[in-house]
Chains A and B, each alone.
Chain A
Amino acid sequence: MTDAPIAVAVPADTSGRSQWWDVWDQFKTHKGALFGAAVFLFIVLAVTLGPLLWTIEPTFIDIRARNSGPMWAHPFGTDQLGRDILARMMAGGQVSIAVGLTAMLISVLLGTLIGVVAGFFRKLDGALMGLTDLFLALPLLPLLLVMVMLFRETLARSFGPEMGTFILIVSAIGVTSWMQTARIVRGEVLALKEREFVLAARSIGTPSRRMILRHILPNVLSPIMVSATLGIATAIITESALSFLGLGFPPDFPTWGRLLFDAVDYLQQYPERVFWPGLAISLTVLSVNYIGDGLRDALDPRIRGR
């Protein structure tokens, strides 16, 4: 009879301190995550507030200053039409980050939904996993082509050409990249479902909806987080590939991927032009990865407070 009343040095936890403070405390101890958060914040601020300070239009053509290297008037130089690359980087960053985040969100939501439903409800498992395999087996480029062909005009009419293209690209990327998440989540849910705490919740009479929200989702958070952070990178790169193929944004509309592909043609003469968009994409992806890593640790009570 010893382990019951050990009241030694346990501070009575009566403070109203919520667990989100613990999460923040743990997040702060992850140096990489803090650094990633700082870099990501810097990039987001630069692309949103930057155009207010650097007022050259990204589409303004100064043909006499074309192909110039870095100089005071154009810190990042100009491209083959004399457009300022810094301005284009900032404008492109807005689009690329927006596309990356939104497409990732869609794909993670879709993947988690399908994975959880397939793993939890045995009857739907076969059908949903069949669907996942079907999407994995589909040749994506022709599919994207058809989607663009079918929906571009309608979307452009109702939301304007740029917003229409944004919605189209984001949903196209989201709809074609959820499969990995779904498979990972399903596997985790299948394993979790057999754990005794799920059985305990069932013996209490917890309905499936709350069972998923309370017991399943918090425990599959880690793999979801990982695939989400990786998803941002994939989404930014897929967008650039789409734009390159002429399926995405119009050619004069800057995105990081677009800038990268434009610069590839001049790789021999002006290698620094590949450098800037490449660096921006890599930094964004890396910083998001580190943030995800830190968040995953901070949200896991087994790691927290160690």
Chain B
Amino acid sequence: MAEAAGPLVKVRDLKMYFPIHAGLLRSHVGDIKAVDGISFDIAQGETLGLVGESGCGKSTVGRSILRLYDVTGGTVEINGFEIAHVDRDSLRLKRPMMQMIFQDPQASLNPRMTVANIIGEPLDEHMKLTADARLARIYELMDWVGLNRAFAKRYPHEFSGGQRQRIGIARALALNPKFIVCDEPIAALDVSIQAQVVNLLEELQERLDLTYLFISHDLSMVRHIADRVAVMYLGRIVEIAERETLFAEPLHPYTQALLSAVPEPDPESERHRKPIVLQGDVPSPANPPQGCNFSTRCPKVMDVCRQIEPGVFDFGDGRQVACHLYSDGMTTTAEPTAGKIKNQ
């Protein structure tokens, strides 16, 4: 892409705290630090996989980037436009370029609207189309995602999970977005349907030059679809790297533990697999530990980990790790790197 001089999506030090109110007067006693200072870039046409265990803040990152929450701090820039702190009206004008695909295809479709109205809602909001042009566009979108046109007047409950997710994808595509956040789009689907939906997403990415932030806890699916992978733990990114480098040689102890939990398809190698079993539970995001967030469970914990928050160390080639293990001979960096722009 010629225009893609810089990355399409630039997230810097994004923070999303949810206040905790307690007591008789509902006074503000603390914050759930769901996302605590995250930075990354996504290049045009790239897919960044965001993985981590439940409750680590993956979905909050996705929603904050699209400004579905009012972020606590940091900046988000999409296609050169600041998103995180603009006022409502100018944000509304920018909505078409960024869309979202939701996790639960049952809950993300209004049960009282027909498929045509669900897919047409973004068109109603942002384009002035005649009834015919609107219907033509809806049919076109339904063709793209492989839905039969005859289903246009049906209601969501008449469809299977995979078909519902296609409706959700069609809605996200309606306004020709550049950037789509896929918030665990396959987590609620059957394994056989998952492959179809992921293939559809890849196909559409190729055809429409889309950029994805693919949130998932399914590591093998991320390995399949993502170009780069960011690993999150307790509101922070611990490691970000090209897909192959990350899966071949994870550097952060948490990434190592996470990847070792993936079962091997081959029974012979599965027998010799030794997963790293982490001890203890994830600390509460309302009260994260001092120093490194992972210090309470890390198998390679050092004294320094419990006191000082690790900086981000750059290994070059788009690989960054936030861990004290690699502090020797490395320089910390504040500037995250986007991956190599995908060869088109």
Q: Nearest-CB distance from A116 to chain B (Å)?
A: 16
B148 contacts A302, C-beta separation under 8 Å:
no
A4-B107 in contact given A205-B126, A302-B155 (Cβ < 8 Å): no
A203 contacts B153, C-beta separation under 8 Å:
no
Residue A150 interfacial (CB < 8 Å): no
A interface secondary structure, majority: loop
- Chain A residues whose C-beta falls within 8 Å of the C-beta of B224 in the assembled complex: none
A203 contacts B95, C-beta separation under 8 Å:
yes
Interface hits, B25-41 → A, CB 8 Å: none
Residue A202 interfacial (CB < 8 Å): yes
Residue A215 interfacial (CB < 8 Å): yes
Name which residue of chain A comes closest to B102, CB basis.
Answer: A196
Residue A282 interfacial (CB < 8 Å): no
Residue B110 interfacial (CB < 8 Å): yes
Q: Nearest-CB distance from B285 to chain A (Å)?
A: 19
A219 contacts B110, C-beta separation under 8 Å:
yes
Name which residue of chain B comes closest to A192, CB basis.
Answer: B110
A301 contacts B157, C-beta separation under 8 Å:
yes
- Chain B residues whose C-beta falls within 8 Å of the C-beta of A19 in the assembled complex: 114, 153
A301 contacts B155, C-beta separation under 8 Å:
yes
Q: Nearest-CB distance from A196 to chain B (Å)?
A: 4
- Interface bracket on B: 35 or more
Interface hits, A223-243 → B, CB 8 Å: none
B150 contacts A200, C-beta separation under 8 Å:
no
- Interface bracket on A: 20 to 34
B92 contacts A302, C-beta separation under 8 Å:
no
Residue A195 interfacial (CB < 8 Å): yes
Interface hits, A208-266 → B, CB 8 Å: 210, 214-215, 218-219
B108 contacts A11, C-beta separation under 8 Å:
no
Q: Which of B108, B152, B157, B175 contacts A200 (CB 8 A)?
A: B108
A205 contacts B91, C-beta separation under 8 Å:
yes
Residue B132 interfacial (CB < 8 Å): no
B121 contacts A219, C-beta separation under 8 Å:
no
Starting from the known contacts A10-B150, A206-B125, 13 additional A-B residue pairs (CB-CB under 8 Å) come to A2-B196, A3-B160, A10-B148, A197-B107, A199-B100, A199-B102, A200-B109, A202-B68, A206-B121, A218-B112, A300-B112, A301-B111, A301-B157
- Interface residues of B, Cβ cutoff 8 Å to A: 63, 66, 68, 91-92, 95-96, 98-100, 102-104, 107-114, 121-122, 125-126, 146-153, 155, 157, 160, 162-163, 166, 168, 171, 175, 193, 196, 199
6 pairs of A and B residues whose beta carbons are closest in the complex: A4-B146, A205-B95, A196-B108, A301-B155, A205-B92, A10-B150
